């Protein structure tokens, strides 16, 4: 059985990275204008309310919630270790909390932090990209939905007007 790399009380550095920190940034569909212009296939332009930053009945807000990648390197002391059952090796506890990516030097921890930060930033960017294209599709869909209802309503108006004019006021 391989011995743990660290012993109780060793000074170590651990690297962390997460993208759970919520931040509000300008809406990437309307850029804060609260509405977007959709150009239809026939060149006609339709102004519609931004749904990407809309929150239910509140309507568009001009901002979108995303998650910022935050990473750090922290120094601490080894306070425990447990054998990993599946991955093999050891899992260390630093100042009372179980930590991944524990290193003997700050430089190694920093290298790991930078690698993880880049990975998480890339993953976040891809997720935002997918969200964005989904939102664009939603807008096209909602424009056609509103137009359909509008046409229907206009037909009804025309029909009622016709009835009125027949009676001759
Ligand atoms: Zn918006």
From the CA of 36, how far away is ligand 1's center (Å)?
Answer: 8
| Residue 81 phi, psi dihedral angles, 5° rounding | -155, 150
From the CA of 125, how far away is ligand 1's center (Å)?
Answer: 18
From the CA of 151, how far away is ligand 1's center (Å)?
Answer: 26
pLDDT tens, position by position, 70-109: 999 999 999 998 988 887 888 999 999 999 999 999 999 9
**85 vs 143 pLDDT, higher one:** 85
Look at the pTM and tell me if it is higher than 0.95: no
Q: Check residue 62 and give left, alpha or beta (phi > 0: left; psi -120 to 50: alpha).
A: left
Instruction: Look at residues 51, 62, 36 and name the one whose alpha carbon lies nearest to residue 138.
Output: 51
pLDDT tens, position by position, 8-42: 999 999 999 998 888 898 988 888 999 888 887 88
From the CA of 30, how far away is ligand 1's center (Å)?
Answer: 4
Contact 62, 30 (CB under 8 A): yes
Q: Check residue 98 and give left, alpha or beta (phi > 0: left; psi -120 to 50: alpha).
A: beta
User: Is residue 140's pLDDT more than 80?
Assistant: no
Domain extent listing, the chain = 11-162
Contact 131, 125 (CB under 8 A): no
């Amino acid at each position: 059985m391989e011995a743990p790399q660290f012993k109780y009380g060793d000074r170590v550095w651990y690297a962390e990275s997460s993208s759970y920190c919520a931040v509000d940034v300008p809406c990437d569909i309307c850029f804060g204008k609260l509405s977007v212009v959709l150009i239809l296939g026939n060149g006609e332009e339709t102004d519609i309310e931004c749904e990407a930053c809309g929150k239910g009945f509140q309507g568009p807000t001009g901002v979108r919630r995303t998650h910022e990648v935050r990473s750090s390197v922290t120094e601490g002391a080894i306070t425990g270790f447990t054998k990993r059952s599946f991955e093999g090796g050891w899992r260390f506890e630093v100042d009372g909390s179980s930590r991944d990516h524990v290193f003997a030097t700050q430089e190694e921890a920093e290298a790991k932090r930078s690698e993880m930060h880049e990975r998480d930033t890339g993953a976040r960017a891809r997720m935002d990209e997918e969200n964005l294209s989904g939102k664009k599709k939603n807008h096209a869909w909602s424009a056609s939905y509103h137009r359909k209802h509008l046409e229907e309503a206009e037909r009804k108006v025309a029909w009622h007007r016709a009835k009125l004019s027949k009676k001759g006021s």
